[in-house]
Amino acid sequence: MKKTMSKKRDSRGQKEILCTLGPSSMNDRVIARLEDLGVNLFRVNLSHTRIDDLRGVIDFIKSRTSVPVCLDTEGAQIRTGVFADKELLLEDNAVVRVLKKPAAGGVKGFNLYPLDIVDRLEAGDFISIDFNSALAQVIDRDRDGVLVRVLTGGLVGQNKAVSVERDIKLPALTDKDRKAMKIGAGMGIDHVALSFANEASDVDEIRSLFDKEIFVISKIESLKGLSNLEDIASCSNALLIDRGDLSRQIPIENIPRAQKDIIRRAKACGVKVYVATNLLESMVKSFNPTRAEVNDVFNTLADGADGLVLAAETAIGQYPINCATMVRKIMRQFEGQKKACSVENLRQKDSFLLAEPHGGTLVDRTRYDFDIKEIKRYKCLDVGVNVLLDAEQIAIGTFSPLEGFMNRRELDSVLRAYRLPKGAVWPIPITLQVDKRDAARFKEGDKAALVFKGEVYAVLEVEDIYRYDLDKMAKETFMTNDADHPGVRALKGKGDYFLGGKVTLFRRLGSPYKYFELTPGEARAIFENKGWSRVVGFHTRNVIHRVHEHIQMLAFEKYNCDGIFVHPIVGPKKEGDYGAGIILKSYDLMAREYYPKGKVVMAAFQNYSRYSGPREAVFTALCRKNFGCGYFIVGRDHTGVGGYYRHDDAHRLFDRLGDIGITPIFFNKMHYCRKCGAYVERCGHGGKDTLDISGTEARKILQAGRRPPEWFMRREISELVLSEMGKGAEVFLK
């Protein structure tokens, strides 16, 4: 029968991943994450799936993903039956009966399936059980079955592979396989894997069970299959090398040679070839693979394999997502191997699964080995702390792709179009504002040493000196010229001249919270170390209350995230805002006591609030994108102040700008409903049952020395705040 190609998810030459679904992965979160990682096929192993459960299993998978489902047959294989204790210890020289009739296996006797295989065993046959865990020999027969003597003892499991040294021909499909194919055909399945394909007629037989074209993966796992490989390939869409079952008939030291030969022959036949078994076996229980496994996977790709199959790793392993992530990383390295193998390239950790830095590259304008004598020759420019905070964040990459303070062309583009001149979305002016006298001291091409309290922290390469209309700038940035707006007030309190150019940072500002700070590169390294690839960021300038806690966990769960990056801003803020210390202490308490263990990273964001509403909401998202976050929580009134912005202005701007490389997760005003006993946006109840929660209200209650109710803020958090106030700590800025 003619082979046909699948019409779904054409990989067009890219290496493919096939994942077996099982107890560890048959859930919404793992399936969604595996699909995100680019898994090409989900395998259902019929050897470990009850026929009565199959319809429900297929329904469950197909309702959650567009990735095709592949039914993998039991095939022409002998297996152990059911054991009373799931495992059976066979001891050397013990005599055990292989029973004809079904029974719960034990030390006195057990079944092999298919049951009629007992009638075909002969005295002298050698039987290898559970991948050579035990070796036995048939010594006699009686009416109940055959007697075998254990030559090499070992612990064997139920439903495990058994091989007989003498060739015993078995049907290509079991009765269960035929029933499963009928169910699959009726449910639109068009991918099947044929276990123990021994000859071309086996492939024709499974195709005959479908009334449409199907994608057949023929598994080469026997000597007979090896002998007939070209014939099998001629009527198959792909071959799959099962190194485990193949090693029952080929000495294990010959498997690498066999793998290379099969791949070469498959390529000559023009069919895809996949490789399975023990790719990342250690990751069934361990967070990381062994170096030997990584080397094996890379070299398997180098042999020419079109795809790799994860079996136990994703079906029953503890780290199914990490396994698929690791395979994808190795594939990435394989695809990029033409890149120069320099020391710098080799030391770089591949973080391609995290959000790409904005603009494609994480900026690094730091230089800590500076020559102070050289810097002393530059003209000095005294600047405020906010300028240095911006210079620091530019230099460490938080503001990527910016490499310095904006020139006129960049500022015009950002205010007019929310973009930098080269096209990258950027909503906020990042400028170095000076008065006329300081502007006159410099000319283009100069280098200015940025000085704060007598110390040089950075150097500005002056590329542009320009004057700008502050009224226009305020209106565009803050949507108002009102002098009561804190952002407008700060802008108009300085000169109307600006210096633009690249920044190089030589020293970072000191802070009592420096140990909480992370650079974008450091945060990415931590996420990689934890195995995270899907991170949701949270920006705040408040002590945590219940709604913040609720939306963080809701975003984490709904978007199947690996972790939450809590990143409160700790630089200068306006009067009445929380001080940095109490914010960090409240989140530190949450991380230790209430957040899911190992699912939260907290760091201090050493910058300042600009109070520019929707523009700042996008800006804070892009900053977290540079830290590696792929998702970002945007609440109602995000980064707003007073009544200057509509509640949904930030949401509207995100929609207007389109895809910016980080997904905003929008939340509207939420409240606590007494009747529902939950935090909700709307529920149908109202009146006294609807209780509002806000950061502003929390500050008022705490400033009055009272503790908010438990539904508003955790008792431990409010008691921490009141305790710090009692000690005279700066809980609220004055």
Give pLDDT, residue 646. Answer: 86
Mean predicted confidence (pLDDT) in 384-404: 97
Burial of 639 (0-12, 13-18, 19+ CB in 10 A): buried
Structure tokens at 556: 């984490």
- Quote the CA–CA distance of 129 and 172 in Å, as a whole number: 21
- Phi, psi for 299 (deg, rounded to 5): -70, -30
Q: What is the CA radius of gyration of the chain?
A: 33
3-state secondary structure of 442: coil
Say if residue 165's pLDDT is above 90: no
- Quote the CA–CA distance of 587 and 88 in Å, as a whole number: 51
Domain positions in the chain are 16-74+171-335, 78-164, 372-505, 516-726
What is the CATH T-level fold of the domain 372-505, as seen in this structure? Sulfate adenylyltransferase (3.10.400)
- Quote the CA–CA distance of 672 and 27 in Å, as a whole number: 30
Give the pLDDT band of residue 279 (cuts 50, 70, 90).
Answer: very high
Say if residue 345's pLDDT is above 70: no
Give pLDDT, residue 316. Answer: 96
83 and 106 in contact (C-beta within 8 Å)? yes
Determine how β-strand 112-113 pairs with β-strand 126-129: unpaired
Task: Render pLDDT for 192-204 as a digit per residue (tens, 0 to 9).
Answer: 999 999 999 999 9
Say if residue 610's pLDDT is above 70: yes
- Quote the CA–CA distance of 5 and 8 in Å, as a whole number: 9
Say if residue 734's pLDDT is above 70: yes
Structure tokens at 492: 């108009």
Please tell me the pTM assigned to this model: 0.82
Q: CATH says 16-74+171-335 is which class? A: alpha beta
Structure tokens at 297: 């996977």
Burial of 689 (0-12, 13-18, 19+ CB in 10 A): middle
- Phi, psi for 455 (deg, rounded to 5): -115, 140
Give pLDDT, residue 587. Answer: 94
Q: Quick check: is 541 catalytic?
A: yes
What is the CATH T-level fold of the domain 516-726, as seen in this structure? Rossmann fold (3.40.50)
- Quote the CA–CA distance of 383 and 435 in Å, as a whole number: 11
- Per-residue three-class SS string for 624-673: HHHCCCCEEEECCCCCCCCCCCCCCHHHHHHHHHCCCCCEEEECCCCEEE
The DSSP bridge partners found for residue 568 are 540
Q: Which residues, 6+ apart, have CB-to-CB distance to 511 below 8 Å? A: 517, 570, 604, 606
List 79, 207, 534, 541, catalytic entry = 541
Task: Render pLDDT for 3-45 as a digit per residue (tens, 0 to 9).
Answer: 433 333 444 468 999 999 999 999 999 999 999 999 999 999 9
**Which of 573, 604, 590 has its CA nearest to residue 730?**
573
Higher pLDDT, 234 or 12: 234
Give pLDDT, residue 348. Answer: 56
Architecture, CATH, for domain 78-164: Beta Barrel (2.40)
314 and 34 in contact (C-beta within 8 Å)? yes
Half-sphere exposure of 586 (CA within 13 A, CB side): 30
Say if residue 261's pLDDT is above 50: yes
Higher pLDDT, 699 or 273: 273
- Quote the CA–CA distance of 613 and 477 in Å, as a whole number: 9
List 111, 228, 237, 542, catalytic entry = 542
Say if residue 347's pLDDT is above 70: no
13 and 247 in contact (C-beta within 8 Å)? no
Q: Quick check: is 93 catalytic?
A: no
The secondary structure of 132-180 as a DSSP string is: TTEEEEEEEEETTEEEEEEEE-EEEETT-EEEESS-----SS-HHHHHH
Residue type, 450: L
